[in-house]
Chain A
Amino acid sequence: DAKTTQPNSMESNEEEPVHLPCNHSTISGTDYIHWYRQLPSQGPEYVIHGLTSNVNNRMASLAIAEDRKSSTLILHRATLRDAAVYYCILRAPKGSSNTGKLIFGQGTTLQVKP
């Protein structure tokens, strides 16, 4: 399984942008890059995903390096409610043995200070 590497923890100030990095040097050409987050006492929540191009949605932006070996999740204005564990996950193509699996790593625990 292709692995991802994230910092264990990060801190941010409220209303400032946050850049959460993820390294995935063994990514294959067809792996999608997914980001989920888990707030305390809740199930994981989908944030964003992409393949090659940068992506934006109402929650965040995803910047993918040209060689796809790293990506960055960008929260444009962190709020206290964004404090969570953020997981960067590679999702394998249909037909592989990993189809549909989300393989969670340790994630990055984001603390947001008021």
Chain B
Amino acid sequence: DTAVSQTPKYLVTQMGNDKSIKCEQNLGHDTMYWYKQDSKKFLKIMFSYNNKELIINETVPNRFSPKSPDKAHLNLHINSLELGDSAVYFCASSQDRGNLGQPQHFGDGTRLSIL
């Protein structure tokens, strides 16, 4: 009964390839997020969707495109992968009732390695 699940857990691929990471939450939350954690362990938000609508879009290359088919899913597609994309990508979700106390629930991450 995993709350926020990401697939795959590990992804090893060649530079220049296109890949997708999937995220699903079964908490009934209406807001989902993607974060990137680099080799220095800094966690930074990339995107956020609320009820399938993009609400946060940080300065992320256009090669990264999030897609939310419904409010329980937020997938991340990456085109033309580069060495610098190697990182751990975390998906998260929260219930946005307008009260900012709502915690975010994170998945266990997808470890992306570019060869």
- Given known contacts A43-B90, A43-B92, A94-B98, is B44 in contact with A104 (CB within 8 Å)? yes
Across the two chains, which residue of chain B brings its CB closest to A102? Answer: B104
Q: How many residues of B contact A (CB 8 A)?
A: 27
- The reply to whether the CB of A34 lies closer than 8 angstroms to some CB of chain B is yes
Nearest chain B CB to A45's CB is how many angstroms away? 7
- One of B41, B48, B105 near A100 (C-beta < 8 A): B48
Residues of A within 8 A of B (CB): 32, 34, 36, 38, 41-46, 49, 51, 85, 87, 91-94, 99-104, 106
Q: Give the A-B contact count at a CB cut-off of 8 A.
A: 58
Nearest chain A CB to B53's CB is how many angstroms away? 12
- Given known contacts A42-B108, A43-B108, A43-B109, is B94 in contact with A100 (CB within 8 Å)? yes
Q: CA separation between A25 and B2, bound complex, in Å?
A: 38
